[in-house]
Amino acid sequence: MPAWLMQPRTGGLLLLAAIMVLVYLAAPNNFYLDVAIQIGLNAIVVVGLNLLIGYAGQISLGHAGFFGLGAYASAVLPAHFGVPPLAAPVVGMLSVGLLAFLVARPILRLKGHYLAMATLGLGILVFMLLTNESQLTGGPDGMAVERLRIFGERISGKDWWYLITAAMLLLSVWLTLNLIDSPTGRALRALHDSQIAAQVAGVDVARFKVIAFVYSAMLASLAGSMSALYSGFVTPDKAGFIHSIELVIMVVLGGMGSTFGGILGAAVLTSLPQFLTVFAEYEHMILGAILMAVMIFLRRGILPSTLDLLARRRTG
């Protein structure tokens, strides 16, 4: 294979696109397409979150909050402020970006457990806000979302949303891979391994943490907005703690510091519960056992650990 095809940005993206086409052609019915769309939406969040957690080494247990804000931007802005549904995700992303920018500096001065607690608190704050502002958000029951129209055409079918999600995921991956292989990406990866050495080389560590935080928050918001427009309904639990944890598990499971690994993690964790329902009440136990097994045997995450094994088999 030519060298230029072995790069994540070329071969990796092409492979991802090919898998997307195959899944679309092979999906026996709409149920599978729906699962695939859910995977894609989570994957968009995970691609951004992996930049923050896996590459820059900064934990966040609150990113479902940004997802939720994006989702409610799609719901509330058209319903109460007359913003067209197509513009709502953009307004949502910009607002979430601004919010993330404002909280990032004080929060990201913290490290480890303290950072985890602070981001957790931020997520809970958003969840409470969405639950309690019931005149605007419909409270715990949620609210309906006006359907997206493009050139007068109502976008609601699974085929449409599969296409949109696939395109947005490819775009997010492309942008993120570009960033990782740039001076900004090197600064982010460097501060993960040695903050002091990065600073001494002139890296304004605070600035780059803010960049990763804002970028990942905006991708989460975008996915949230798309999710709301797709399902036609929003509830606060998509902004909740459990969803935040799920997103982090996807990153860790698939592979911290591996963009495609994170997507694999999103695919596994989103689809497993759907297919484990045949085990009825044992579903959660089996899911837990799988997670533990992966972390024990493939510690660096499914994709990086597997690639390592393959490489070692080939050379040794």
Residue choice 29, 112, 152, 193 for contact with another protein (CB under 8 A): 193
CA dihedral sign, ordered 31, 164, 119, 261:
positive
Secondary structure, 3-state, 193-244: HCHHHHHHCCCCHHHHHHHHHHHHHHHHHHHHHHHHHHHCEECHHHHCHHHH
Closest CB 92 distance from another protein, rounded Å: 19
Q: Is 271 in the site for another protein (CB under 8 A)?
A: no
DSSP string, 37-101: HHHHHHHHHHHHHHIIIIIS----S-HHHHHHHHHHHHHHHHHHH---TTTHHHHHHHHHHHHHH
Q: Is 202 in the site for another protein (CB under 8 A)?
A: yes
Q: One symbol per residue from 210 to 229: x for binding another protein (CB under 8 A), - otherwise; what is it? A: -x------------------
Instruction: Tell me the CA end-to-end span of the chain in Å, nearest whole number.
Output: 22
Q: Is 187 in the site for another protein (CB under 8 A)?
A: yes
Residues in 160-179 at the binding interface with another protein, rule: CB under 8 A: 175, 178-179
Q: One symbol per residue from 241 to 270: x for binding another protein (CB under 8 A), - otherwise; what is it? A: ----------------x-------------
Q: Is 190 in the site for another protein (CB under 8 A)?
A: yes
CA dihedral sign, ordered 305, 306, 312, 315:
negative
Q: Which stretch binds another protein (CB under 8 A): 61-69, 138-146, 157-165, 186-194?
A: 186-194
Closest CB 112 distance from another protein, rounded Å: 18
Of the candidates 217, 181, 182, 188, the one whose C-alpha atom is nearest the C-alpha of residue 204 is 188
Q: Which is nearer to another protein, 134 or 194 (by Cβ)?
A: 194
Q: Which is nearer to another protein, 141 or 308 (by Cβ)?
A: 308
Closest CB 93 distance from another protein, rounded Å: 14
Of the candidates 67, 45, 88, the one whose C-alpha atom is nearest the C-alpha of residue 239 is 67
Interface residue list for another protein (CB under 8 A): 9, 175, 178-179, 181-187, 189-190, 192-194, 196-205, 211, 257
